[in-house]
Structure 1
């Protein structure tokens, strides 16, 4: 399609064109049923097959590690900020949090409402423009878990490696970089992610967890906030976001077609290198916000000499078909979110625009 926007939105974000076209072809009549998948019962065999296939396909991308279960929930990662400590931060325990940016801070804020917490590491003094050192963390014996945010969407930082937490479950919010690269799932007790960046459309939140962490939730919790409710009912206790889960399954198929996580990682690294090189080679006209060793391959943040020039950049970029380049309202600046589905051609178009903008206003 020649009229597709250059979509750099942070979320909801770009979806693969191939996936959108497949969904379009099946939208009215799914597999000869005479119905859209949005119209059919979530208790029926047709939908349930899609539901189970999506869970199986997701685990398969991680090598099918034993003892893990996939949940399809609702409420976004923000609901997981509370649901996690409600289920796992029991009396007598404390939960560790790595403060690496805006989303990590929000997760910690919710946990403080539930129980005892501590900050295991922080880069707040550096205004979250780098990542804290997590290589030698000391966790108390009564630690319920250690939580970190693998990629900070707003600031533009990303962990390259994850800490060894021993017997303490390591839990990660991976909303903005899940499936962008291979990683060892068995290092984690749980990972969770809102789908609307790398997994599919908004409306579904994916949780992948060791089964023992899902088995017994505190009895006083409301039914819908218990992990064991959803684990025991295959995420079908209540009506799931069926179309979003269908779309997740289609995105997972697309990732397989790209060479699985190894293939996706190479594509993402090539895209990020192209954009960061343009920033670094601009002679200071464009300035990357984040220390180079902490830069994200998913969210590239950068600044110009003044806010007025940044506003002009956004205005002129929108005229050329670019969408979503304005930085988050809490930090300002500029941001290009280059998730899995953003094609390299869009990055090249942005780099070309940046070069022309510098010629005109440098």
Structure 2
């Protein structure tokens, strides 16, 4: 085995939907820390999760998350510390959405699910399988025969369908389908507040890619391996008063202790062994985000990346009038209003052409652009670590591909 680190280019042409790439500075620091963390003689993955060193990393990671959520001074840090808890559980998004109904079962009422894609559908199905009292408030596939976007109507009226809701569940960004809530999510948050209903959100694939108002949410959960880290850990941000209500009402007997939010939070995320390498990776990512100006700066870059790619795809879409008919090869299934900035999903006019594009893209170093196996097509993921230069080079490749047809 080699004792030296391999070289890594400054720009990575990897567009996978998760696990996703990490910023080069994070990878390099992580590599050093796996070998020897802060000159302690052992690596970050070898230290006890109950050691002072590990506890310090947990505390620092939590603090950096809260700093990011201040939205560059909109909220005071002490205010967020007072109102929200931050903790971590082993697992990923599936663990996360499975834990949600079980932790909320002790509250009076039912859960309402807004189904906008594959992951929110799976979340609802799992809640039903676990025996929780849940209902579908809206299913985009049922309404449109395919997942094309999110609910467009009056959220207040939608929530009035059920008079005993305790929470509304959404997946903010559907990685499989390329669907992301737009600014109308604020209307949903207001409707939830007006009805005294908690908004529970899976942010696994767009967490810290854009500014949010944490006070819009009762609980946020996010698997780490897309925008903020590597697989093995899930982030939870929950209202303190909601956790208090759950504790006061008693734990659901079907809730595994490993998924018990209050138990984990009360034990500083260390009731069982927290994976220190994924946790430390999160913290390195958060440190870099803060050093680079916070979420707003990252959001500006993400908007530019997505806008540039969508602009070119629109140019060559079947609806375009800008190019010759033979060059109109792109088909969108997602409503333009809800196009994801993280996962750009589209089809080409034939399966043969999609396979040709994916093959030539890989041959030219543009990796992981095939769509999810359940829907096919092409998927280009533009998570935080994907550099603008990589997107611009992919655009050039795509235009050359079209011009050869």
How many residue pairs end up in the alignment?
Answer: 361
Runs of 4+ in 1 over 4 A off after TM superposition: none
Q: Which residue of 2 aligns with 1:218?
A: 251
Answering whether residue 329 of structure 2 is matched by residue 285 of structure 1, we say: yes
User: Are the counterparts in 2 of residues 5 and 323 from structure 1 also a CA contact under 8 Å?
Assistant: no
Looking at secondary structure, tell me which structure has more helix per residue: 2
Match 1:302 to one of 342, 346, 357: 346
Checking the alignment, whether the CA contact within 8 Å between 1:82 and 1:110 is kept in structure 2 is yes
Q: Where do residues 85-164 of structure 1 align in structure 2 (5 Å cutoff)?
A: 85-90=101-106, 93-113=109-129, 114-124=131-141, 125-126=143-144, 127-133=146-152, 135-136=155-156, 137-139=158-160, 140-161=162-183, 162=185, 163=188, 164=190
Specify which of 59, 63, 68 is matched with residue 61 of structure 1: 68
Q: Secondary structure at the match of 1:323?
A: coil
Contact 1:121/1:133 (<8 A) preserved: no
5+ long unaligned stretches in structure 2: 1-7, 71-76, 317-322
Question: Contact conserved, 1:89 with 1:144, CA < 8 A, in 2?
Answer: no
Q: Pick the aligned partner of 1:233 from 241, 246, 267.
A: 267
Q: Distance in 2 between matches of 1:173 and 1:219?
A: 22
2:4 is aligned to none
Separation in 2, partners of 1:152, 1:219: 29
TM-score normalised by L of structure 1: 0.96
Mapped to 2, the partners of 1:328 and 1:169 lie a distance apart of: 31
Task: Name the Cα RMSD after superposition.
Answer: 1.6
**Structure 1 alignment gaps of length 5 or more:** none
Shift of 1:41: 0.8
The alpha-carbon deviation at position 107 of structure 1 amounts to 0.4
Residue 13 of structure 1 corresponds to which residue in structure 2?
A: 20
| Structure 1 residues 275 and 141, CA gap change in structure 2 (3 angstroms) | same
Secondary structure of 2:38's aligned partner:
coil
- Structure 2 counterpart of 1:51: 58
Residues 34-78 of structure 1: CA deviation (Å, up to 9, x unaligned): 110111111111121111100110011111323111111112111
The answer as to 2:376 corresponding to 1:332 is: yes
Partner of 2:222: 193
- Deviation string 1:120-155 (CA, Å, 9 cap, x unpaired) is 222113211121126333243421210001011111
SS in 2 for 1:325: coil
User: 1:200-224, CA deviations, whole angstroms, 9 ceiling, x for partnerless residues?
Assistant: 0111000100123333151523322
Say if 2:345 is the partner of 1:345: no
Q: Which moved more, 1:255-264 or 1:86-95?
A: 86-95
Q: Is the 8 A contact 1:5 1:321 kept in 2?
A: no
User: Are the equivalent residues in 2 in contact too, given 1:74–1:205 (CA < 8 A)?
Assistant: yes
Pairing 1:40–2:47 present: yes
